[in-house]
Chains A and B, each alone.
Chain A
Amino acid sequence: MKKVSLVLVLVFGLVLVYVLTDFPKWGDPSSPASSHLSPYYIEHSLEDTSVPNVVTALLADYRGFDTMFETAVVFTAAMACFFLLRVLVCYRTRDERLYRHLESGVVLRITGPKRLPPGSSFRRVESPRARFDVVTSKVSRILVPFIQLFALYVVAHGHHSPGGGFQGGVILGAAYILYAIAHDLQTACDRYLERVMFTMLAGGVLLYAGTGAACMALGGNFLDYSVLAPVFQLSPVASRSFGILVVEIGVAMTVMSTMILLYNFLVSMGRCEEGL
């Protein structure tokens, strides 16, 4: 079976390489792709949308439908992961709680209804195996705000430089993952509540689609941001670049919560407790 599949892969690979010779040359100015459409976008995108980054202008304005349904695909993928991976009812085998003394690392096991007061130097942990390293947790605590600041810059500066909603959202999710690895998953889940993440997951798609619907309500086409000019108090061209910023924020919200939920479900077998 392995040999048959190897032969099949080789044959189809050769067919693909043979077909490749029919393609226009890379960067050929007379090829169909670069003779009509691309020059229009390159020459007119700045005066149409006042966005210097042509890629962002294309993705969020000229082909806004495309990006909106990409966001919807991300939303659907996150929901599919939720239904496949999440364990909805977590049965506790024994009713016991673990508390770790922060200075010495000693773990106390307390059964029954007794609880330690929250102000003491004990902290609730999920498992005695979860490590606690002062250096790692403090360094990551210092690093996380800067990563998040960079991600916000990537989202907000996506018109002028490479970046945008998808990349900024992924970096925001990566900051959460760093926090969850350096501490434990329970601490991270307490900061980023699961229901808030699901609200942001749907809210991002709704913000994108709602911007399009607002354009329709003001008498324009779907995702034609120039009719939003009276709302933003801007000129029609400037309001198109501002509309792109709004939908980028929606994309970033959806992508960030997708990354966070995926990580939570994967590392904890769908229980959202006791991660990597």
Chain B
Amino acid sequence: MFWQIDNFVLTLVIISAIAAIQIKDMLGAAIFFGIYSFMMCVLWAVMGAVDVAFTEASVGAGVSTVLFIAAVFRTTRRTKD
């Protein structure tokens, strides 16, 4: 469709994926996973797969971020390595 939007969102997906791996703060990593999921949702909505985008928005960006944060609260906040 609009290749500018595609490229912009794809760049954000890659940046947030790398940031989620690299960041030492687990809570920050959980938030970056949420951003990653939401950008994937935007990407699918641009491609016309609205059902998949809907699922990604509710499961990926919504509930799984809460579950990640709940898991982080039950462990240490900073990674050891």
Most-contacted residue by chain A among B66, B67, B69 (CB, 10 A)? B66
A266 touching B74 in the complex, CB below 8 Å, given contacts A170-B58, A171-B58, A174-B62: yes
Cβ contact within 8 Å between A262 and B58: no
Indicate which residue in A55, A166, A177, A269 contacts B74 across the interface (CB closer than 8 Å): A269
Cβ contact within 8 Å between B59 and A266: no
Provide the main secondary structure of the chain A interface. Answer: helix
Q: Which of A63-97 contact B (CB under 8 A)?
A: none
Cβ contact within 8 Å between B59 and A177: no
Cβ contact within 8 Å between A174 and B70: no
Q: Which of A108-166 contact B (CB under 8 A)?
A: 162-164, 166
Q: How far is the CA of A156 from the CA of B66 in the complex (A)?
A: 26
Contact code string B53-77 (vs A, CB < 8 Å = 1, else 0): 1110011001100110111011000
Provide the main secondary structure of the chain B interface. Answer: helix
Q: How far is the CA of A266 from the CA of B75 in the complex (A)?
A: 11
Residues of A within 8 A of B53 (CB): 162
What bracket does the count of chain A residues touching chain B fall in? 20 to 34
Cβ contact within 8 Å between A167 and B55: yes
Instruction: Quote the shortest CB–CB distance from A259 to chain B (angstroms).
Output: 6
A263 touching B67 in the complex, CB below 8 Å, given contacts A55-B51, A164-B51, A166-B55: yes
Cβ contact within 8 Å between B62 and A276: no
A173 at the interface (CB under 8 A from B): yes
B50 at the interface (CB under 8 A from A): yes
Q: How far is the CA of A173 from the CA of B58 in the complex (A)?
A: 10
Most-contacted residue by chain A among B50, B51, B55, B74 (CB, 10 A)? B51
Cβ contact within 8 Å between B66 and A170: no
Residues of A within 8 A of B54 (CB): 162-163, 167
Q: How far is the CA of A233 from the CA of B25 in the complex (A)?
A: 59
A267 at the interface (CB under 8 A from B): yes
Look across to chain A and name the residue whose beta carbon is closest to the beta carbon of B81.
A2
Look across to chain A and name the residue whose beta carbon is closest to the beta carbon of B66.
A177
Instruction: Quote the shortest CB–CB distance from A174 to chain B (angstroms).
Output: 5
Q: How far is the CA of A166 from the CA of B71 in the complex (A)?
A: 23
Look across to chain A and name the residue whose beta carbon is closest to the beta carbon of B68.
A266
Cβ contact within 8 Å between B74 and A170: no
Residues of A within 8 A of B73 (CB): 267, 276
Cβ contact within 8 Å between A162 and B50: yes
Q: How far is the CA of A253 from the CA of B63 in the complex (A)?
A: 16
A170 touching B63 in the complex, CB below 8 Å, given contacts A162-B54, A163-B51, A164-B51: yes
Residues of A within 8 A of B59 (CB): 166-167, 170
A266 touching B51 in the complex, CB below 8 Å, given contacts A170-B63, A174-B63: no
Q: List 6 A-B contacts (CB under 8 A).
A: A174-B63, A263-B63, A263-B67, A266-B67, A266-B70, A276-B69
Given A171-B58, A266-B70, 9 extra CB contacts under 8 A:
A55-B51, A56-B51, A162-B53, A163-B51, A166-B59, A174-B62, A177-B63, A263-B67, A266-B74
